[in-house]
């Protein structure tokens, strides 16, 4: 089966700009998650979708971050306006049952 796909793999933007990250989960996986790893720190949970509904968005850092999951398929994570501290690697994962499959991440650099 195809894995979890994320794009872009890298993005460099200026402070104040907008960036949209995309995640395509494994087909049929109802659960979709976003995580972020800031340089040198642990991987932190951002939010969890079940199908198109937000199950838990307790990890979203602030209202500059907006996540959507259209029709319960792919998901986007928009950062607007981006700040320097938003730099890091953003991972997406999907699950069905006890196993989580992660994408290769999007490395976001805000300059």
Partner 1 sequence: ELKVEQNPLFLSMQEGKNYTIYCNYSTTSDRLYWYRQDPGKSLESLFVLLSNGAVKQEGRLMASLDTKARLSTLHITAAVHDLSATYFCAVDAVGGNEKLTFGTGTRLTIIP
Residues at the interface with partner 1 (CB under 8 A): 3-4, 31, 33, 35, 41-45, 48, 55-56, 59, 91, 93, 95, 97-105, 107
Cβ atoms of 88 and 37 closer than 8 Å? yes
Instruction: For the CB of residue 93, give the shortest distance to partner 1 in the complex, in Å.
Output: 8
Nearer to partner 1, 65 or 91 (CB): 91
Cβ atoms of 105 and 91 closer than 8 Å? yes
CA distance readout (Å), 23 to 15, 67, 94: 23, 11, 10
Nearer to partner 1, 29 or 82 (CB): 29
Nearer to partner 1, 79 or 93 (CB): 93
Nearer to partner 1, 36 or 79 (CB): 36
Separation of alpha carbons 70 and 99, rounded Å:
23
Separation of alpha carbons 12 and 107, rounded Å:
8
């Amino acid at each position: 089966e195809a894995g979890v796909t994320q794009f872009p793999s890298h993005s460099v933007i200026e402070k104040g700009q907008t960036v949209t990250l995309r995640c395509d989960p494994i087909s049929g996986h109802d659960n979709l998650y976003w995580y972020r790893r800031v340089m040198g720190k642990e991987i932190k949970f951002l939010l969890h979708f079940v199908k198109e509904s937000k199950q838990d968005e307790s990890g979203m850092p602030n209202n500059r971050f907006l996540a959507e999951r259209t029709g319960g398929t792919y998901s986007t994570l928009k950062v607007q306006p981006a700040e320097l501290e938003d730099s890091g690697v953003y991972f997406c994962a999907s699950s069905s049952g006890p196993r989580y499959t992660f994408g290769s991440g999007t490395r976001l650099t805000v300059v």
